[in-house]
Structure 1
Amino acid sequence: MGRRKIEMKMVKDSSSRQVTFSKRRTGLFKKANELATLCAAQVAIVVFSPGGKPFSFGHPSVEEVADRFLNQDAPPKHSIPSHPEPPPQPQDDSNVDNLNQQLAELLKQLEIEKQKAEKLEKEIKAGGGEKFQKPVNELSLDELLDMRESMESLHEKLQSRVNEMEASSSLLLLSENPVRMIVN
């Protein structure tokens, strides 16, 4: 199907707006990191969520880029290398242990979700999903109301699961590419 062009206007639904903000913020910070890495550029971005929470990304840091911007006549404090330095290796194993622990927890969650999916598939095959096997135009009013209620419940569960997965994805992305966040 491919990508669709999205009309640029404010998202009306507040939960959809928050989801859109989170996805686009992550993409924006990723692009800024790529620009800083590929072009040895100094980059700073500050954004506020729809709820008013500030997020920032800076390379080498937001403060340093802001100082340079505000004092354009002064030379930069640090020279920009022609080849970016590789990220420093962790000096202690506590950070690696933390990340391994987070990974183990996420793998456990994934296994639990796989088991839930298998259970649901078995229930559907056992007859749990047969009441909606008829075409929609052949259902009675009561069956249509049942279907609507089931679909609304499913939508709520899916939205909740999507939010959980986005949060987990953001944590994994942040653990792979740390981003400095300033929270007041």
Structure 2
Amino acid sequence: MSNESNLQVTFSKHCNGLFKKASELCTLCGAYIALIVFSPSEKIVISQVPPQNSGPMQFIEANRSAKLRELNAMLTQINDALDIGKKRENELSDLRKKNETQFWWACPIEGMDRVQLQLLKKALLDLKKRIGQHANMVVSQGTPTQTFPFFVGNGSSSNMPIEH
């Protein structure tokens, strides 16, 4: 612009608009802004715009804090539930291991050694024989079915009765 007066007026309007935008940015984002502007007359205009703690910003901050507290409470509950689940998992794992050592036939077949598999085979053949005998007895006598003991050897202790 050739006219100094028009240049100064235009600069002043644009500078005010720039400061207004900086103030809005502070209000919306909570940012600290410092502006350094050189005028056409080579004077320095410095403006520091702190975030506004007026109504809307206080409401936004209070809402954010409440949401953060709510999320932290939910996270604590989830972590507590996870800890309880892990504790139960460990207890069940210990119980399963104890059960498998005490009753070897309760463990998966894939985990049995050769001796245990032979004992299981013998026990199943014996069970098959007893069921056949029991079925023949029921058919011939016409008596109602009853439970009868079934013995399985665990290889390290005496036979243990199991009712079937």
Higher share of residues assigned strand: 2
Q: TM-score, structure 2 length as denominator? A: 0.30
Higher share of residues assigned helix: 2
